[in-house]
A and B are shown apart, each in its own frame.
Chain A
Amino acid sequence: EAQVTQNPRYLITVTGKKLTVTCSQNMNHEYMSWYRQDPGLGLRQIYYSMNVEVTDKGDVPEGYKVSRKEKRNFPLILESPSPNQTSLYFCASSPGLATGPDTQYFGPGTRLTVL
């Protein structure tokens, strides 16, 4: 089954404790992206990646890091989480560059609480 998976689905942590949220897709998509969803704000893009080893900042990159060492995985790293990073996080992927703006396939979300 074609899908985007995220782990963990739920995470409660404390301020300053480094964490990683994993994202994996099995559709051989070139493009992957991370969003955060906050009430009344819709989804805002954190980082995106056009291909392996190619990443760029979205609208709200502060406090986050990403890496794209292989095509299927795009982990989101919070080096020193803070309470304002409490949010619902979504990973998404999309087919290759030649197709233009296209459907993005979303993972099920990771609900993060930082105390």
Chain B
Amino acid sequence: AQSVTQLDSHVSVSEGTPVLLRCNYSSSYSPSLFWYVQHPNKGLQLLLKYTSAATLVKGINGFEAEFKKSETSFHLTKPSAHMSDAAEYFCVVSGISSYKLIFGSGTRLLVRP
């Protein structure tokens, strides 16, 4: 079965410092992986997705993620945090049925001035 674990429920960084949000996945086949962002009182928005092409995936707003099969990880990074990045981030793996998405429990990112 497919599953995804977000290793931190909360991450706090200072504005201008790097962001690292950690995600490990479990899948019996080559998965598709996504990061979604949810700003307060908003719906979810796709940040980036990995679908077995390049292992380093660039997304919107300066975020990127690297697929590491040997570590079963798909960590999300950004070189320099901005106040507007404060949100909840979800790591997502596609299920064995292509359209079934399995969500992690979320990581809330706090950006300090």
> Count the A residues whose beta carbon is within 8 Å of the partner chain — how many?
24
A74 CB–B CB distance under 8 Å: no
- State A32–B63 Cα separation when bound (angstroms): 27
Q: Do B103 and A108 have beta carbons less than 8 Å apart?
A: no
Point out the residues of chain B lying under 8 angstroms from A50, CB to CB: 99
Point out the residues of chain B lying under 8 angstroms from A90, CB to CB: 43-44
- State A90–B88 Cα separation when bound (angstroms): 15
Q: Do A103 and B49 have beta carbons less than 8 Å apart?
A: yes
Q: How far in angstroms is the closest Cβ of chain B from A5?
A: 10
In the complex where A43-B90, A106-B43, A108-B42 touch, is A101 in contact with B98 (Cβ < 8 A)? Answer: yes
In the complex where A41-B105, A42-B90, A42-B105 touch, is A58 in contact with B100 (Cβ < 8 A)? Answer: yes
A58-B100, A109-B42 known, 8 other contacts, Cβ within 8 Å = A4-B43, A42-B90, A43-B101, A50-B99, A101-B94, A103-B34, A103-B46, A108-B43
